[in-house]
Structure 1
Amino acid sequence: MPSSYVEDPAPGHGSSAPRSAFRSDAPAIGLGGSWRFLLSPAVDAAPEGIERDDFDDGGWADLQVPGHWQLAGHGAPAYTNVRYPFPVDPPHVPSDNPTGDHRLVFDLPDDWPDGPAVLRFDGIDSCGRVWLNGAELGVTKGSRLPTEFDVGALLRRRGNVLAVRVHQWSAGSYLEDQDMWWLSGIFRDVTLLARPAGGVRDFTVDAGYDHLTGRGTLRVDADSGVRVSVPELGIVGLPAGQLAEVADVEPWSAEAPRLYEGEIHTEAERVPVRIGFRTVAVEDGQLKVNGRRIVFRGVNRHEFHPESGRVVPREFAVADIELMKRHNVNAVRTSHYPPDSAFLDLCDTYGLWVIDENDVETHGFSELDWQGNPSDDPRWADAYVDRMRRMVERDKNHPSVVMWSLGNEAGTGRNLAAAAEWTHRRDPTRPVHYEGDTDCSYTDVHSRMYASHDEVDRIGQGVEGPERVRERPFILCEFGHAMGNGPGGLLEYRDLFERHTRCQGGFVWEWLDHGMAQHDAEGRAYFAYGGDFGEPLHDGNFVIDGLVRPDRTPSPALAEFAKVFEPVRITGVDGALRVTNHYDILSTEHLDFSWVLEEEGIEVAHGALTVPPVAAGAATDLPLPGLPATAKESWLTVRAALGADTPWARAGHVVAWGQTRTAPAPAPAAPATGAAPHLTATELRLGPGVFDPLTGRLTALGGLPVEGPRLDLWRAPTDNDRGSDDPEEARWRAAGLHRLQHRVVAVEPLGDALVVRTRAAPPGLGFGMRADYRWSADGQRLRLDLDVHPDGAWPCTLPRLGLRMALPAALGAAEWFGRGPGEAYADSRQAARVGRFTGTVDALQTPYVFPQENGNRIDLRWLRLTSDDGAGLRVDGEAPFAFTARRWTSEQLDAATRTTDLVPGDTIVLNLDLAQNGLGSASCGPGVLPQYRLQPESASLTLTFTPQPPSPAGTPAAEETPSR
């Protein structure tokens, strides 16, 4: 056969009709393992006759299947987001087309039955030509979709030769431009399955639920002779095509994933099935499951593993889902292709709403104003419907799948409309989704990505778009771009989902950073991104945009997501507690409530809280528990935790929490005064402080060498600062905020105070910031009153407003009373609670794959940094302040492109801030909301610095127990 099949837009040939993914009691052989492999640089360079028994593959390499050849040392990965890494000339692909030949010789088990059998490939990227025992079976395209070939007549007992020629590029590659690493090979399971005569060829389970009567209906569509049995429901041998009604069935939902074990069977074959009764409908402008409006608190999930690419071991898929459930994620959009079918089995079991998305994206044509887009090219018509058909038939029996998606970012056109029409006919029980159908001409929901808060509000009010669109449920198929530090603004999206019933949530982009595990020349581990493998065309670290890092370590954004979208909200209201149930379906009956009272972060009392069951959507008010009197600032924290073990968390796992303050902070201590400045020939002393008499900068405090503090306006930009068409970072750099110069105006002893007047400004520009430092002291403490005033016409927001100082590297232990334990920013702070927290300076860093601003702790009342012996520094704020502490400067953090670039210095750099600019989501989405933008305005900050002596021998530096 000529190589023209590679560039044929058709979906391939030779395969059998698609069917549901299932395993039965019929024999099956997994063909994964070590295969022989040869990579050729082009189609025509590949050897002839690889399908023959006598072909000599002795000089070939070994390759693990499933696997990607680029991750086994044959070629290299490449990352692009939108642009195709080859010339856009559909359906043609480059002649330099890496082609991987795979060969496996296998025997059949002695008890393998004679008769029909199929050879199943669950994923080949991007095009595969298959032979068995010298006979060509056919060609498959649609990389993330299954293909089966009938092979029973070709099998032999010993020495079966399976040969698969895989091409990196094909016409199918034009439909697979899905913001991910380009990786090739046989990357999902290969299985030989016996298909007994008279067995179960395929089946469709229709298990509906009537929420008004509580009755379930069950019908299985299959060939004549197929029956279904569900013993728990008293259904035994129900013939295919017949309807059974079941009274008082327990419905399936993401919150209560009830599955009934059953069997589809004939005399020749038995197939275990798990049946979930549920009905999906679009009614009254809302998407409803079992009669209830649902809200997607979802994530987009690519399949990825940092070492094996899209070959994701089952334990990692389980870890993903358990981590999702523990962080209040209730939905997954399978961006942007159907996942391994085993993942959907897990979604059925654990409980997640799923939007199952077709293996179609032609985003690169947007660079060409969509000219030549396959979505409207009749040559590709069969391929679009074929891909949709293979997904729907494979996944139709999963109760977790509540919507089908036609694909992603593929423009629009007749082929998408045809795929939608086929899907509506084939499966009228589920709505059809596609974000690109902006006027909902062939889809059932209104979907947008990265709509601003204002736009979502207008959509919710019903004043945005034509009537056909306004009648549809609205979801954000992508929002809250989780690239680097961020996103900010999730709370405001949540409020819109609760305010407008048509606005039914969305899916954060995305679940996982796609960093490739690598080691540098010194053996240090890091995660690689676009460009790290020499790709001439790439999109850098845009592939690093998840709520969890590549190794599945949660980022601070995941904790923020969990808090913002917690299903139970606990708030203080007029001296009482209010518990509001935001579950879609469940009551709070499965939760245990407890409380703890902390005085300045130290527990003083705790107990259980009796909360009557609160129905979904309802709320109840409770009196505060009996609390002891406290003298210092005190907070009551109430937690809602699982009352029993679940598959995804043990009893006691905290699902939601809330805080209310029960006692205010006492009046601030008297100002540190009484000592007067004392000038010598070389230094200026004030209480425990030593200052440079020329610059007025603090150089020592109680014998502790220090440098600073000095006004600081710069932070290492985040990915969101760098994003958008008009990025904040560009404005900040244009304003020279990364290279401020400081001028000392005056150093003036005034009575018992030292006043240092300065101006900080960028070179070459006429605006700046005046900063006056007023120092006062008593014998033990040093007080700073900082006043800042903008000078001139400022062109931009500020990255930060605060002070920077340097301390000895030995002060590596931090303790604070404020919000924690994790980092927090103006528009991403819901997960931070008030308490007393401890941690090392090293542990305060968030190791974002692409280094950037991180580690900010907010609303501090006081901070203590100490060495191993307890000696160090305490900082108290008259008003709450924020801090970061790290072993490198903001400039070094700014310059780093890998975590391995950050080398600890010989000081700890301490920032004490009034505020930082918000985070937003401008790496792909809206920027910082107005209320979180840090404007250059007059401000003041009052801090008291107290040297800390070493702790007595054998006594810890902090004797009290901090917050739990």
Structure 2
Amino acid sequence: MFSQEQLSATTARDALLVWQTPELTGINRIPPRATLWPYASTADAVADRAPQRKLLDGQWKFKLVPTVEATPRDFMAVSTSDADWATVQVPGLWTMQGFGKPIYTNWKTAFTPAKPPFVPKENETGLYRVQFEVPADWSGKRIVLGFGGVECGCYSVWIDGVAIGLGKDSRLPSEFDVTPYVKAGGKHTLAVQVIRWADTTYIEDQDHWRQAGISRSVYLYATPKTYIHDVFAKATWDVVRGVGKLGVEARVNELPEKGWTVSVRLLDGAGKELLAEPLKGEVPHGLEGHNRPREPIADVTGEVPGALPWSHETPTLYTLVVTLRDKAGNEIDATRTRIGFKTVEIKNRELLINGKMVYIKGVNRHDHHDRTGKVLSREDYLKEIAVLKAHNFNAVRCSHYSNDPLWLDLCDEYGLLVIDEADIETHHHYAMLPHDTRYAFAFLDRCMRMCVRDRNHASIYMWSLGNESGYGPNQDAAAGWLRHADPTRPLHCEGAICKANSDWDRGHAATDVINPMYPSIDSIVDWAKTTKDWRPFIMCEYSHAMGNSNGSLADYWAAIEAHHGLQGGYIWELFDHGLVQKGKSGQERWAYGGDFDEVQHDTNFCCDGLIWPDRTPHPAMQECKRLFQPIAIGADDAANLRFTVRSKYDFITSGHVKIMWTLTVDGKEVSKGELERLDLKPDERRTIALNAKLPPVARGQEVHVNFTLIDTRDVPLVGKDKVMGFVQHAVPVTASLPAVRINRLAAKLSLQDGADVIRVTGGESDVMLDRKTGRLASWRVCGVELLTAGPLGHLWRAPTDNDGIRAWDYKKGIADWRARKALPRWTDAGLDHVVHEVTSITAAARADGAVVITTALAHRGGDVAAAVKDTQELVILADGVLAFSHVFDVPTELNDLPRLGVVAQLPTGFDAMEWLGHGPGESYIDRHIGTPVGRYSSAIRERYVPYIMPQEHGNIFGLRWIAVRRADGVGILASADGLIEGKATLVSDETLTKSWHTDEFTLGNTPWLHLDVRQRGLGTASCGPDTLERYKIHAGQYRLSYRLAALAKADDANAVHRALLG
């Protein structure tokens, strides 16, 4: 035992500074164990009835002091009054309850100087007190106090003023035997001192909010004096014979007398026994050779022929009930845990689950809630799993620490493959701490305790030794322990193969997979073609999902599925880690680094997820869903409607998948049907022919066949008859119908070529072009204003996070970062404040009555000499149509532009849009496979995508035409000559660029209409490879042609578009 003086000492002369001593990982903690609760009888364990446990969660008294030394010496005493202390919720973080503040940094330690193992004297310390009562029926029992997790550097515990113990790991339980210090039926005072920074801070250096407080449940439980301490169930699946194999190690706390036994029962979900008789084993007793004490572990083994295997597709679980009996056969203790039969192997560059190579369609996941930080409920977890299952994910990496056992329980139940990761990240001291002997046991301790706690979970298929911690003997020591303690699972250690991604075929002692971060597509393909390594390639992080991101995800998966050894990976990451905060306007927003006035922070780099903090999916999730869907349909002969359906399931057949099909012409459905139900085995293929006739079409019309995949099962958390994916194929057709014609009244046009304005009138049309700007100043039809500012060359887009992280100061940044990011190059070239110079402008009437206005412009960044030349031809036709043609010449100095196109502005009231192109969500050149071509409609306001850092959004790739209308149906059509990109929006690029939060602007009422040759692809360069070269806008000549036409209420936009094309 230790004293308060030892815990509160301020100098080495006084006592050991426990919070700055990495060799010390805990005091008086009981050995680690699985998450088990004691039951009074086998019957109670079978029924999960009345476990001998009591939660101490609820309202606790709390006081925050600025330093460890400021802790009152008697704060833990029973006699101390806490009447004037605050009240906080436990579990709960004080940084989310009005005390101190959360701090976000990516890899830098949150304080300076950062010299392991020392921490600053200014070190917030939280003091907690609560009164609790021990159940009266626990008399004569052993009583344990447990903390599920405490976000901190170090915490110490007292009961009634007596020091109980100390823990240092934030995300694993610390349990203490408090039997001598409490009384059954007695009331006691529990006091906890939580020190925010400690030697452990340097090995918990994860990319997330640095919080503080008691983050997981606090509890008591009671056992008999001789009790089951731990159970390890090795539940494997014999792939050849199709049977379950069960080996159970039940550890008892002591060596009892001869004749004590352990029995094991196994029950299915309905409570049916799977074993004809319980498996039994004797608890060792006495001494073995040379008077050495035996391990008090009872080994029980057997086969379970009636068992079914566990997988992510069939998460079949069984309840294992273990009972300890004395030599007279009396039940002394009982416990239960859920298990699943699963075998993991690595052979021939493939990781096999139950004998099958499974592509890892995974995501990295932190614990996060926008209002409670790292404190989550069962409902929160279920929402996450529902989103992942609905989007066809099959795997999660617990980045970068052991998650709450409840999360693992739910992954077991609903079927997610889990990498369980030790709470180790030394990012700021990457190459140092893996070799630091002072931290050697901490590395081992965290891996050991993670494994012992979690190894009964069926969902866990791999252990990870931590994240971004370099590689050294400390990892090898932990790897050796894990291999011995649990030989049923392979190991994952990114640092072992990293070495700046220069040598992936290294580190065999610590990792059984090649698991780099953010490799390029070319590099993984090259590895697959040239390596002789036997290990599979599973990216631990890739496709960084920061803001409007995940470009080229389809290109990654094309490479993965084409090359043996590439087996998928984990997208970074699931959540945007925004925290709810009221902005200056009083409106709630999601805050990021720096919004809490932190001195050191990494701005919005924490907002890099596939879903918003409230669990709403980003648009990129549709790309994931499409790529990860379990049915593929290839076009054998699309012209004759012949296709091949392939099952991409790993274990189950596809009979529950209903496949509906439609044929569309220009996005309009013309026929539909349902395929016969195909009960395909995994990887089985079936050729089908649609029972349909191709419709007759006019020149230029497009035919698509669309397959919709519907899961007819009632899938837990997802529902019944939900769409699980789609496939779309273009169908080549020969035109047999005459071109669409629409009678538009021609009128004699009048040209007025003035010094300042060129005006063309005729019939119901009135066009005015400003000579100074080279753009239309007005366009009226029937007295209705359709444009208040006509098309003008536009090179800028509000930067995405992949273009460059705006909040980072690139002028002071590392040169390498400036070279790798597009944004600093663009701002250096002045593209964020382009000026438009009119070099010449002419207007003339044509023989056919049309008026042609030719304008030469130069678009340049401020006073930068290099300019994009824009030769614009506007033909005003006699029927009132405006035909634009632009020839853009992009110089080599402006290679790799943000976008290349034009922008126009419409009057107030034009608030609805319709289009033919990819949809319904936003789409980009390198992220559109999840958005099929179709005819869609939306309010313009609904096209806004509220990325936490405002940025480019809402684009439409493969745009054929776009129409914007008023409520009365009057509108304007932009009809493209070929495929372009574009959008209508209620917020300008300028506003988005200068705004750092969503509450800093409101959507307007006057739409901007963008028509682009192209936007630069999205890529993943916020943390990973830049946009692929083929998705960039390089130097060269580009053409953009489109027609603008007025729409009456009765006009069908597509019919007008077809008529304009002729």
Q: Does structure 1 residue 120 correspond to structure 2 residue 186?
A: no
Residue range with higher mean Cα deviation, 285-294 or 783-792: 783-792
Residue range with higher mean Cα deviation, 681-690 or 868-877: 681-690
Structure 2 counterparts to residues 791-810 of structure 1, below 5 A: 792-810=891-909
**Whole-angstrom distance in 1 between the partners of 2:377 and 2:29:** 27
Specify the alignment match of 1:365 in structure 2.
429
**Whole-angstrom distance in 2 between the partners of 1:330 and 1:924:** 23
Which letter maps to 1:618?
A: E
Q: Does structure 1 residue 6 correspond to structure 2 residue 19?
A: yes
What is the aligned counterpart of 2:572 among 483, 487, 509?
Answer: 509
Residue range with higher mean Cα deviation, 735-744 or 342-351: 735-744
C-alpha spacing 1:271/1:791, structure 2 compared with 1 (3 Å): closer
Specify the alignment match of 1:139 in structure 2.
166
Specify the alignment match of 1:893 in structure 2.
992
Specify the alignment match of 1:23 in structure 2.
37
Structure 2 counterparts to residues 769-848 of structure 1, below 5 A: 769-778=868-877, 780-790=879-889, 792-848=891-947
**Whole-angstrom distance in 2 between the partners of 1:100 and 1:833:** 54
**Whole-angstrom distance in 2 between the partners of 1:486 and 1:220:** 46
Structure 2 counterparts to residues 167-316 of structure 1, below 5 A: 167-223=195-251, 225-230=261-266, 231-240=272-281, 241-247=299-305, 249-266=307-324, 267-316=331-380
Q: Does structure 1 residue 749 correspond to structure 2 residue 776?
A: no
Query: Deviation per CA, 1:113-135, whole angstroms, max 9, x where unpaired?
Result: 43101111110122110111222
Specify the alignment match of 1:700 in structure 2.
779
Q: Does structure 1 residue 107 correspond to structure 2 residue 133?
A: yes
Q: Does structure 1 residue 423 correspond to structure 2 residue 487?
A: no
Identity %: 36
Residue range with higher mean Cα deviation, 64-73 or 716-725: 716-725
**Whole-angstrom distance in 2 between the partners of 1:677 and 1:295:** 66
Structure 2 counterparts to residues 644-723 of structure 1, below 5 A: 644-662=713-731, 676=749, 678-679=751-752, 683-685=758-760, 688-692=765-769, 694-695=771-772, 696-698=774-776, 699-702=778-781, 703-704=784-785, 705-722=787-804
User: Would the aligned equivalents of 2:890 and 2:1037 in 1 still touch at CA under 8 Å?
Assistant: no
RMSD: 2.2
Specify the alignment match of 2:1042 in structure 1.
943
1:787 Cα offset (Å): 2.6
Which letter maps to 1:16?
A: I
**Whole-angstrom distance in 2 between the partners of 1:541 and 1:523:** 20
Which letter maps to 1:34?
A: Q
**Whole-angstrom distance in 2 between the partners of 1:737 and 1:675:** 41
Rg bigger for which structure? 2
What is the aligned counterpart of 1:77 among 102, 108, 127?
Answer: 102
Which letter maps to 1:84?
A: T
Which letter maps to 1:7?
A: Q
**Whole-angstrom distance in 2 between the partners of 1:311 and 1:203:** 28
1:458 Cα offset (Å): 1.4
1:669 Cα offset (Å): 5.8
What is the aligned counterpart of 1:728 among 822, 839, 851?
Answer: 822
1:919 Cα offset (Å): 0.8
**Whole-angstrom distance in 2 between the partners of 1:811 and 1:400:** 52
Specify the alignment match of 2:470 in structure 1.
411
The alignment's TM-score, normalised by the length of structure 2, stands at 0.86
Residue range with higher mean Cα deviation, 824-833 or 677-686: 677-686
Specify the alignment match of 2:447 in structure 1.
388
| Secondary structure of the structure 1 residue equivalent to 2:515 | strand
**Whole-angstrom distance in 1 between the partners of 2:74 and 2:141:** 28
1:780 Cα offset (Å): 4.5
Unaligned runs of 5+ in 1: 960-964
**Whole-angstrom distance in 1 between the partners of 2:572 and 2:913:** 33
| Secondary structure of the structure 2 residue equivalent to 1:721 | coil
C-alpha spacing 1:104/1:594, structure 2 compared with 1 (3 Å): same
**Whole-angstrom distance in 2 between the partners of 1:341 and 1:686:** 74
Specify the alignment match of 1:356 in structure 2.
420
**Whole-angstrom distance in 2 between the partners of 1:596 and 1:269:** 62
**Whole-angstrom distance in 2 between the partners of 1:733 and 1:50:** 57
| Secondary structure of the structure 2 residue equivalent to 1:447 | coil
User: Would the aligned equivalents of 1:209 and 1:277 in 2 still touch at CA under 8 Å?
Assistant: yes
User: Would the aligned equivalents of 1:124 and 1:144 in 2 still touch at CA under 8 Å?
Assistant: yes
Specify the alignment match of 1:962 in structure 2.
none
User: Would the aligned equivalents of 1:113 and 1:194 in 2 still touch at CA under 8 Å?
Assistant: no
What is the aligned counterpart of 1:376 among 435, 442, 445?
Answer: 435
C-alpha spacing 1:257/1:93, structure 2 compared with 1 (3 Å): same
**Whole-angstrom distance in 2 between the partners of 1:96 and 1:843:** 48
User: Would the aligned equivalents of 1:485 and 1:854 in 2 still touch at CA under 8 Å?
Assistant: yes
**Whole-angstrom distance in 2 between the partners of 1:477 and 1:667:** 56
User: Would the aligned equivalents of 2:892 and 2:1035 in 1 still touch at CA under 8 Å?
Assistant: no
Residue range with higher mean Cα deviation, 178-187 or 580-589: 580-589
C-alpha spacing 1:765/1:680, structure 2 compared with 1 (3 Å): closer
| Secondary structure of the structure 2 residue equivalent to 1:482 | coil
Specify the alignment match of 2:645 in structure 1.
579
The alignment's TM-score, normalised by the length of structure 1, stands at 0.95
1:739 Cα offset (Å): 2.1
Specify the alignment match of 1:446 in structure 2.
514
Specify the alignment match of 1:907 in structure 2.
1006
1:474 Cα offset (Å): 1.3
Unaligned runs of 5+ in 2: 1-5, 10-16, 40-50, 252-259, 267-271, 282-298, 325-330, 498-505, 806-816, 1056-1062
User: Would the aligned equivalents of 2:1047 and 2:1053 in 1 still touch at CA under 8 Å?
Assistant: no
Structure 2 counterparts to residues 531-680 of structure 1, below 5 A: 531-575=594-638, 576-627=642-693, 629-631=695-697, 632-662=701-731, 676=749, 678-679=751-752
1:411 Cα offset (Å): 1.1
User: Would the aligned equivalents of 2:575 and 2:608 in 1 still touch at CA under 8 Å?
Assistant: yes
1:198 Cα offset (Å): 4.2
1:872 Cα offset (Å): 1.8
User: Would the aligned equivalents of 1:20 and 1:393 in 2 still touch at CA under 8 Å?
Assistant: yes
Query: Deviation per CA, 1:904-932, whole angstroms, max 9, x where unpaired?
Result: 34521111112101111110000011211
Residue range with higher mean Cα deviation, 782-791 or 184-193: 782-791
C-alpha spacing 1:958/1:105, structure 2 compared with 1 (3 Å): farther
User: Would the aligned equivalents of 1:281 and 1:289 in 2 still touch at CA under 8 Å?
Assistant: yes
Residue range with higher mean Cα deviation, 742-751 or 512-521: 742-751
**Whole-angstrom distance in 1 between the partners of 2:890 and 2:627:** 39
Specify the alignment match of 2:44 in structure 1.
none
Specify the alignment match of 1:928 in structure 2.
1027
**Whole-angstrom distance in 2 between the partners of 1:747 and 1:847:** 43
Residue range with higher mean Cα deviation, 226-235 or 635-644: 226-235
Specify the alignment match of 1:148 in structure 2.
175
C-alpha spacing 1:506/1:524, structure 2 compared with 1 (3 Å): same
**Whole-angstrom distance in 1 between the partners of 2:750 and 2:38:** 87
**Whole-angstrom distance in 1 between the partners of 2:71 and 2:739:** 80
1:633 Cα offset (Å): 3.1
1:190 Cα offset (Å): 0.5
**Whole-angstrom distance in 1 between the partners of 2:910 and 2:792:** 19
1:381 Cα offset (Å): 1.6
User: Would the aligned equivalents of 2:37 and 2:52 in 1 still touch at CA under 8 Å?
Assistant: no
